[in-house]
Structure 1
Amino acid sequence: MAPPSPLSLILLSLPCLLLLLQAQAQAQTTGPAPAPPGPINITAILEKGGQFTTLIRLLNTNQIINQLESQLNSSNQGLTIFAPTDNAFTSLKPGTLNSLTTQQQVALLLYHVLPKYYNLASFESVSNPVRTQAGGMDGGEYGLNFTSLGNNQVNVSTGVVETQLNNALRQEFPLAVYQVDKVLLPSDLFGAKPPAKSSPSPSGSPADDTNTTPAKKPGAKAPSAPSKDSSSGPYGKSSVGVGLVLGVVLLCTSFLS
């Protein structure tokens, strides 16, 4: 039997060569599999926005950044953050932040976080008020109210201030970050306080005690004391009766004698 010719060998190996070339072409087209996304860096998102220096400082000072990033990695609900600009904090009344305790500052910052992911379209169907991360602190409600204006325009109200959700710094599950041009002031901390109740006087009577003796009018005479009945007292009417009886006895004695 004659050995195969070189040409026949080439023809026999041609299908294998074509399969090999096709596999290499597919590998170059698809490329390597994408790496899994890393942990979300909230600070980097805010720094990219370029006007959130005060918010970043407050979040780091009160150790809230680590808390939120940890929650993102462990929750399947996601988060929504409202980020006030530096101008929003500058517009506050001087001393506003310094007048708050550490716990109140934390409540203020968490009031800007919803414990769930919301895109702009989601706010059209939310049930107001929407609970925030600060809900329940200090016994307050700490809810936000949203109004959809159409065309992805949404207003948020606290009962003290109202502003619009502007630029979306991020809007991809599990995190949405929206710029706001006002600091969201909760009514639990910044709302009108009820009037203080007047404390009672030491005697238990109101401050304008009506039991005090009225002042005498000029020229008015004091009421005279009631005169004593001469017949009253321990010997009044009884002494008259005894004298009458003695008189009758003496009269009878004079007739008999």
Structure 2
Amino acid sequence: MKISSISLLLLLFVAITTTSSAHNITLILAKHPEFSTFNRYLTLTHLASEINRRQTITVCAVNNAAMDDLLDKHLSIYTLKNVLSLHVFADYFGSKQLHRITKGTTLTATLFQATGEAPGTSGYVNITNMKGKKVGFATEDNDGHFSSNFVKSIQEIPYNISVIQLSNIIASPAAEAPVAAPADVDLIDLMSKKGCKEFAKLLQNTQISKQFIDLMENGLTVFCPIDKVVNNFLPKYKNLTKNGQISLLLYHGIPDYHSLGMLRAKNGFINTMATTKGKNNKYDFSIKNDGDNVKLETNVVTAKITGTLLDEEPLAVYKIDKVLQPSELFKSQSINSDDSAMGPSSGDDNDGDSDDYDTTNNNGGMIMNVNGGWFVTFVLSIYLVFG
């Protein structure tokens, strides 16, 4: 009985720690300054978020000199995304795997292929073992010429993520082909025509709509409460000072693009447009997933995403069923309550919460709240088995 109990405990531990594992490509590369430019453009093209949400992946980084050669071509940010996505494989290739390829050569799919942007099979990369223990990388149709070679392994988490260095950018006319920018979107008009007219009016009346529009090109996510909800909330809104009103509206925007799939894949705190660096006013909220539902939890109220107005990178706009109320402006209460806050606590910035925790990371401000979770579960497992 004791042996079986110990076995059960070990199985629980392995299962919990396995499902809790997560990687962050931004933090991995941040330890290596020679890849800072590559790291920066993974963030600017939003590829970092895509890499972080995948469980099995290989990232082929190049150093700053190789990135300078790429940037000298003056490609648009949308074309750069295609080029860099060709360097992210949807499979795991550690150093050992690269030198032990069956029959010495293989084709692997990349994120460039997965996005549907690659014409034909141009999003596949040929990996070949060459003389002198070299490993070459090229597109599928390469005429025997390999434009890039394996240099070294940067970090490997077996069968989860492998980050390796290549000597040069993999040459690909298809990936470097010009890409048209997304059609211009009138954010105010979009919200006005799709059930968020009252929220759009508030953005215009406070003259902060420009702050939202200025972020659209590089990445923006907006949560707009539906008209009925805004109308019911107006008495409380009018009791806030002008600064409080502006902070409340900015609280409904995230200065980064988050597709619905990305929101469903992550749980944790996220910063908003109202977050001020260097101050105690966090103006953050927590994203929680309940099946297919995505909930936004402040310390005051819990809102739910009820629809999508637009989800086309770099802009995502979602309908929500409540006005998001930050604890910096409203009295905190149980987040399980369906009631709204008792009323404004202040219209001006205050000291906010005194909790000493960091709600940001180097990629979009999201934290995965897993480490403490599996530890508590593991302790409870010990009690259940031996208690």
What TM-score, normalized by structure 1, do the two folds share? Answer: 0.55
Which consecutive unaligned segments of at least 5 residues does structure 2 have?
1-177, 333-344, 346-387
Q: Is the 8 A contact 2:287 2:297 kept in 1?
A: yes
* Aligned equivalent of 2:212: 68
2-structure distance, mates of 1:108, 1:89: 12
1:190-227 deviations in Å (ceiling 9; x for gaps): 0246xxxxxxxxxxxxxxxxxxxxxxxxxxxxxxxxxx
* Aligned equivalent of 2:249: 109
2-structure distance, mates of 1:67, 1:164: 24
* Aligned equivalent of 2:371: none
SS of 1:159's equivalent in the other structure is coil
Within-5 A mapping of 1:162-241? 162-192=302-332
* Aligned equivalent of 1:43: 188
2-structure distance, mates of 1:115, 1:70: 10
SS of 2:273's equivalent in the other structure is coil
Question: Does the C-alpha gap of structure 1 residues 84 and 34 become closer, same or farther in structure 2, counting only changes over 3 Å?
Answer: same
1:58 partner amino acid = L
1-structure distance, mates of 2:268, 2:257: 16
2-structure distance, mates of 1:71, 1:125: 23
Q: Is the 8 A contact 2:221 2:315 kept in 1?
A: yes
Q: Is the 8 A contact 1:40 1:69 kept in 2?
A: no
1:102-137 deviations in Å (ceiling 9; x for gaps): 111110001000111111221244352110110128
Higher gyration radius (CA): 1
Does 184-193 or 158-167 show the bigger shift? Answer: 184-193
Question: Does the C-alpha gap of structure 1 residues 99 and 40 become closer, same or farther in structure 2, counting only changes over 3 Å?
Answer: same
* Aligned equivalent of 1:149: 290
1-structure distance, mates of 2:276, 2:181: 36
Pairwise CA distance, 1:64: 1.8
Q: Is the 8 A contact 2:296 2:303 kept in 1?
A: yes
Aligned-pair identity in percent equals 31
Which consecutive unaligned segments of at least 5 residues does structure 1 have?
1-32, 194-257
SS of 1:129's equivalent in the other structure is strand
2:317 partner amino acid = V
* Aligned equivalent of 1:53: 197
1:154 partner amino acid = V
* Aligned equivalent of 2:74: none
* Aligned equivalent of 2:229: 88
* Aligned equivalent of 1:17: none
1:48-96 deviations in Å (ceiling 9; x for gaps): 20x22211111011122222112223x2xx111000011112332x631
* Match status 1:128 vs 2:259: no
What TM-score, normalized by structure 2, do the two folds share? Answer: 0.37
1:142-180 deviations in Å (ceiling 9; x for gaps): 1111111223x2111111111211110011101111101
* Aligned equivalent of 1:4: none
Question: Does the C-alpha gap of structure 1 residues 43 and 148 become closer, same or farther in structure 2, counting only changes over 3 Å?
Answer: same
* Match status 1:159 vs 2:303: no
Q: Is the 8 A contact 1:80 1:117 kept in 2?
A: yes
2-structure distance, mates of 1:148, 1:34: 34
Q: What is the number of residues matched between the two proteins?
A: 155
Does 56-65 or 176-185 show the bigger shift? Answer: 56-65
More strand by share: 2
2-structure distance, mates of 1:114, 1:181: 18
2:203 partner amino acid = L
2-structure distance, mates of 1:175, 1:34: 17
